């Protein structure tokens, strides 16, 4: 059982972060934010994929101004990602639900004060986003791109905002590798009470990032650390949410959609199980209701796994069994198994939804 570190609760729009709130997932658009049509399309894709929050970068005034229209056309809470130019934060604050800055790279304290005032007036949270690759000079010179340098930068920036009377804060401490990321978050956790946004930055392709993020975020989450998270992937937006949710599902933190148990295959297999699992995964990805299913290549482990599954397939030679809650309900030819399995899954989902509605 994971014992979560209890942090201060803040809000980004209607999404609670920290305290006893559930761990939210987020991603970031890659369109030019000023391209309203493309940005809205990407935000809506993330919404459909199950993201809770979206971040958009705001490098120019045109991008900040576009947020007004984007906000009208989308439903997810939006965080404006700002570097260097405080004016962009001031414009964005009119329209968005949160701001990500590094106060240290905004410069003059008067400018940071103006951002803080704008956020205070609108009850907007600020994420202090520390990245190992862009530490302030004083920390980079003294500590290099180390966890110590990241933590010192975070503490400096936190104090910066606290001195201005601002505590509506969340913090991220991202490096591009697992060890520095984990050490930085673990070192800072006992020193502050603010919620943490977890992530490994520039984590690479889908394959690399899935591994790096699972190890880093997984190990932090197992220690109860983390309130919201982003899995950074060089690839399509939806994958970031898919992997983030799979990490949370694997840790038992959330139950959502199909939990598919499938065997790795071996020489006993006499069916095309790999394709069957891919078809099942693709055709059930819209399902949000939690359901345990298993798809196994032969009777060696299939019956045991099927006992714990709501719906299961046990393949044999040219045919197989459909098993529901441990009971065999059909024996069919290999070609018919997946369709029958999917229709039984739909039936189970409808049954669960009906019970939920009536309770």
Q: Which residues bind ligand SF4 (CB under 6 A)?
A: 263-266, 268-269, 296-298, 300-302
Please answer whether residues 296 and 314 qualify as being in contact, where contact means their C-beta atoms are separated by less than 8 angstroms. yes
The structure tokens listed for 51 are 């993201």
Q: CA-to-CA distance for 144 and 156, rounded, in angstroms?
A: 16
Of 184 and 263, nearer to ligand SF4 (C-beta) is 263
Q: Please return the burial class of 147, using the count of CB atoms within 10 Å of its CB with bins 0-12, 13-18 and 19+.
A: buried
Minimum CB separation of residue 278 from ligand SF4 in Å reads 16
Q: CA-to-CA distance for 314 and 319, rounded, in angstroms?
A: 9
Of 115 and 321, nearer to ligand SF4 (C-beta) is 321
Minimum CB separation of residue 301 from ligand SF4 in Å reads 5
Q: CA-to-CA distance for 6 and 352, rounded, in angstroms?
A: 32
Minimum CB separation of residue 315 from ligand SF4 in Å reads 7
Residue showing the smallest CB distance to ligand SF4 in the complex: 297
Please answer whether residues 314 and 253 qualify as being in contact, where contact means their C-beta atoms are separated by less than 8 angstroms. no
The structure tokens listed for 250 are 């694997």
Of 222 and 300, nearer to ligand SF4 (C-beta) is 300
Of 196 and 341, nearer to ligand SF4 (C-beta) is 341
Of 23 and 263, nearer to ligand SF4 (C-beta) is 263
Minimum CB separation of residue 269 from ligand SF4 in Å reads 4
Minimum CB separation of residue 333 from ligand SF4 in Å reads 18
Q: CA-to-CA distance for 303 and 79, rounded, in angstroms?
A: 48
Of 66 and 263, nearer to ligand SF4 (C-beta) is 263
Q: CA-to-CA distance for 328 and 330, rounded, in angstroms?
A: 6
Minimum CB separation of residue 341 from ligand SF4 in Å reads 16
Please answer whether residues 89 and 100 qualify as being in contact, where contact means their C-beta atoms are separated by less than 8 angstroms. no
Minimum CB separation of residue 273 from ligand SF4 in Å reads 7
Which of 306, 349, 308 minimizes the C-alpha distance to 328?
A: 306
Of 61 and 300, nearer to ligand SF4 (C-beta) is 300
Strand, coil or helix: what is 77? coil
Q: CA-to-CA distance for 144 and 140, rounded, in angstroms?
A: 4
């Amino acid at each position: 059982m994971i014992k979560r570190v209890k942090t201060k609760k803040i809000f980004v729009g209607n999404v609670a972060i920290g305290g006893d709130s559930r761990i939210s997932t987020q991603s970031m658009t890659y369109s030019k934010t000023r391209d309203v049509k493309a940005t809205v399309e990407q935000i809506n894709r993330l919404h459909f994929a199950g993201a809770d929050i979206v971040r958009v970068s705001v490098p120019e005034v045109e991008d900040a101004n576009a947020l007004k229209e984007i906000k009208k056309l989308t439903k997810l809470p939006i965080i404006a990602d700002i570097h260097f130019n405080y004016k962009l934060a001031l414009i964005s604050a009119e329209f968005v639900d949160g701001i990500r800055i590094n106060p240290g790279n905004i410069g003059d304290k008067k400018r940071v004060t103006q951002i803080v005032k704008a956020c205070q007036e609108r009850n907007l949270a600020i994420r202090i986003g520390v990245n190992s690759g862009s530490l302030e000079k004083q920390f980079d010179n003294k500590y290099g791109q180390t966890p110590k340098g990241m933590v010192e930068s975070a503490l400096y920036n936190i104090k910066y905002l606290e001195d201005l009377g601002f505590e509506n804060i969340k913090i991220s401490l991202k490096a591009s590798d697992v060890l520095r990321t984990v050490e930085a978050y673990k070192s800072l956790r006992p020193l502050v009470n603010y919620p943490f946004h977890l992530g490994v930055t520039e984590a690479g392709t889908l394959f690399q990032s899935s591994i790096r993020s699972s190890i880093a975020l997984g190990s932090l989450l197992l220690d109860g650390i983390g309130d919201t998270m982003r899995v950074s992937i060089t690839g399509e937006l939806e994958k970031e949410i898919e992997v983030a949710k799979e990490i949370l599902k694997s840790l038992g933190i959330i139950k959502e959609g199909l939990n598919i148990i499938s065997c790795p295959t071996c020489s006993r297999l006499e069916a095309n199980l790999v394709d069957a699992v891919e078809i099942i995964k693709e055709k059930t990805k819209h399902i949000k209701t939690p359901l345990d299913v298993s798809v196994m290549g032969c009777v060696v482990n299939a019956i045991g796994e099927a006992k714990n599954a709501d719906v299961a397939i046990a393949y044999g030679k040219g045919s197989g069994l459909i098993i529901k809650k441990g009971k065999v309900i059909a024996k069919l030819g290999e070609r018919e198994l997946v369709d029958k399995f999917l229709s039984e899954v739909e039936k189970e989902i409808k049954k669960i939804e009906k019970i939920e509605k009536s309770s």
